[in-house]
Chain A
C-alpha cells in the first residue's frame, strides 16, 4: 500500500474508534472503551510508521504526495478537494501526535478507571486525535480549517469534561472563545490567500507564492499576520494565551495530551507549513519571532510565582512553545520540529507525573501543601525528575539538544537576532529554576500528612472537592472516585516509563555534527526555503550547547539553594519584592486587561442596546404602531352610532363630495 493510503488509515482509525465507543457505550462491557480507544490510536501510530517507511522508500525529490477522496466544491473558480498531503513534515507530526497519544491513552485507562464518564472521555479523546491528525495531514486550507475547528471543539469538550464543576465549564468556554478568535484569523488568511493566489491547495499555493508576491508586500504581510493570529490563539502565545492555564481544569491526561504535546503545537505546525509565505514577508516573521520571545520570558517569569502545580507546568508549556514559535519564525524549522518532539515527550511525562502526585495528594493541586513525597511515591519522583531535567535542558537529555539548536541558529543568522539568543538563554536559566522549583518543593523536605499516610501503605482520603475553589464537589457526574497513582496502576507506570526513556534518548537523533536525522528527514519539505540552508558550523553548535548546559546546571543549583538548602529564602525574597511578586502571581494582570478591553465594553454595549435601543426604538415603534391603530379605530368606531339619519347624512355628504370632484375634474 502506498504512503497516502497509510495516511488515510492514520486518520481513519481514531475516527472509527471514536464512533465505535460513542455509539456502543452501553454495549461495551466494563472498561473496554478505554482499551478500544488505545488500540485505535496504536493502530494509527503503526500506520504512521508505515507511511514514513513508504515515504522514505521513494526518491528524495518525490516525497510530497497528495491524495484526494472526493471533490468538495468545484464551481466558480473554487476547486476544493477532500485531500491529504503526505510529506515529511506531516508524517513527522503524525508520528509525534499518534505516538504520544497512544501513551496518554494508556495512562488514562488507569487514571480514570473509576470515573463514570469513562466512555465519554475516550470517545472525545479519540475524536481529538482524529481532528489533530486531520489538521496535520490536510492538503489544503479548507481541510486544515476543518481540523482546526474540530480540535478546538474537542479541547472544549475535554476541558469541561467534569461539567458539574463551574470552574471547568467556564474554562472550557474561555478556551473556545479565544480559539474562535484564532479561527477567524485563520479563515481570513485563507480567504486572502484564495483571493491572491486563486487556490486553497498547499502545494499549488506555495508554488505560486514567489511569483505572485513581492517581498514584504502589504497583502502578504497581512496574510502572515492573520496566520499568526490563528497560530497564537491555538498555541497560547501572547496575547491570546490566557485560556491555557485555565484549561488545567480538565483531567490531567487531557492537559498532557492537548495542552502540552499536540494541540498547542498546531500553531507551530501552521507556521512551519506556510513557511514560504513567511519567508517572503520577513517583517511578519520577525514580529512572530519577537512575540514568541516575549511570551517565552513572560511565561517563565510567571512560572516562578504561581503555586498550583498544573498551572506551573502550563506556563512552562507556554514558554517552551515560545521557543518553538521563535524557531519556525526565524527559519530553524528542523530545530523547531525537534524541540516540538522532545517537548512532547518531557512535557507529557511531567503532566503524567503531576497526575500521579495529585492523586497521591487526594486531589489537592496546591504546591504549598505538598512536601517530601519522594519516599511515598518513588517511581513518580524519579520520572518527574527525568522530565524536569529534560525540560531544564540538562546535558545529555533530549531537551538539551533541541533547545540549544534553536538558539544556535539564531546566533548564526546574526544581526538583531542576537536579542533572541540572549533572551533565549535567559529563558533557559529561568526554566531550570522553575522546573526544579517543582521537584524540590514537591518531593523534598519533611513528608507531609499525605506522604506519611502513603508510606504507611494507605492512601489519604478526602471529601471530593474542587481544587480551584475548595468547594464540595458534585460527584454525580463522576470524578475519579479513587485516585490512582503510578505505583499502583501498571498502565500509568508503563506509559511514564516509555516517555522517560524517550525524554532521555530522544535527543540523540539530532546531535549536531554527528547525525542530523530530523534535518535530513524534513529536507524535502523545506527544499525551496532559503533559510533552511543556513547551517551553523559544528564547533559553534557545540559551544552553544555548552553554554546552555552550564546555564541549566546553574539554574538547578539556584533552585536547590532556594528550596532545599535555605528554604526560608523564598519567603524573604517575596517579602522584599512584594509588588513584583504580586505582579507575577496575577500573571501580569493579562486576564484583567482582557476583561477590561473586551468583556466589559461588550457587556456595556449589550446593556445600552437593551435599555435604549430595544426599549425605546424597537418597543417604541411597536407600541406606537399599536397606539396609532387603536386611536384610529376609536375614531372610526364613533361613526357606528345607530342613527339612521347620520348614516343618511354621511351618504349625502359623500355624494356631494363625489359630485364636487367630478365638477372640478371636468372643468
Chain B
C-alpha cells in the first residue's frame, strides 16, 4: 500500500477531529476529539517512518502518546473539578473569557 493512502487517511481523521471540537459542547467529548487529532498525527508519523525506513518516526509517535496521556490526565482532572464545583459541563456556559 503506498504511503500516501495512510497520509490521506490521517488527514481525514484529523479533519474529523477538528469538526468534532468545533461542534460538540461537552468538554469530555471535546477531549475525545482532541485524542482523535493526536492519533491522526501518530498515524502520519508512523507512515513517514515506514517511508523513510527509519525508526525515528515511531519513537516520535511514542512520545506523542506519552504527551497525550498527560494531557488527558490533566483534562479529565479539570472536568472532575468542574463537576465537583457544580459548574455546568458545557463550554458555552463557561464564558469567563468574554470581553
Contacts and interface: CB of A to CB of B under 8 A. Distances in A.
B18 A644 contact: no
A576 interface: no
A641 B95 CA distance: 8
A652 B37 CA distance: 13
Nearest to A646: B22
Contacts of B18: 652
A632 interface: no
Contacts of A645: 21-22, 25, 91-92
Given A643-B92, A644-B91, A644-B94, A649 B22 contact: yes
B34 to A, nearest CB: 11
A116 B96 CA distance: 77
Contacts of A652: 18, 21-22
A665 B21 CA distance: 29
Interface residues of A, number: 10
A640 B22 contact: no
Contacts of B91: 643-645
Nearest to B18: A652
Interface string B6-48: 0000000000001001100100000000000000000000000
Contact of A642 (B21, B22, B25, B95): B95
B21 A641 contact: no
Interface in B68-99: 91-92, 94-99
A139 to B, nearest CB: 76
Interface residues of B, number: 12
Contacts of A648: 21-22
Contacts of B98: 640-642
Interface in A625-667: 640-645, 647-649, 652
Contacts of B25: 645
A647 B18 CA distance: 13
Nearest to A649: B22
A19 to B, nearest CB: 69
Nearest to B19: A652
A355 to B, nearest CB: 81
Interface string A569-587: 0000000000000000000
Contacts of A643: 91-92, 95
Contacts of B22: 645, 648-649, 652
B39 to A, nearest CB: 18
A644 to B, nearest CB: 5
A-B pairs, top 6 by smallest CB distance, nearest first, are A642-B98, A642-B95, A644-B91, A640-B99, A642-B97, A649-B22
20 contacts: A640-B98, A641-B98, A642-B96, A642-B98, A642-B99, A643-B91, A643-B92, A644-B91, A644-B92, A644-B94, A644-B97, A645-B21, A645-B22, A645-B25, A645-B92, A647-B97, A649-B22, A652-B18, A652-B21, A652-B22
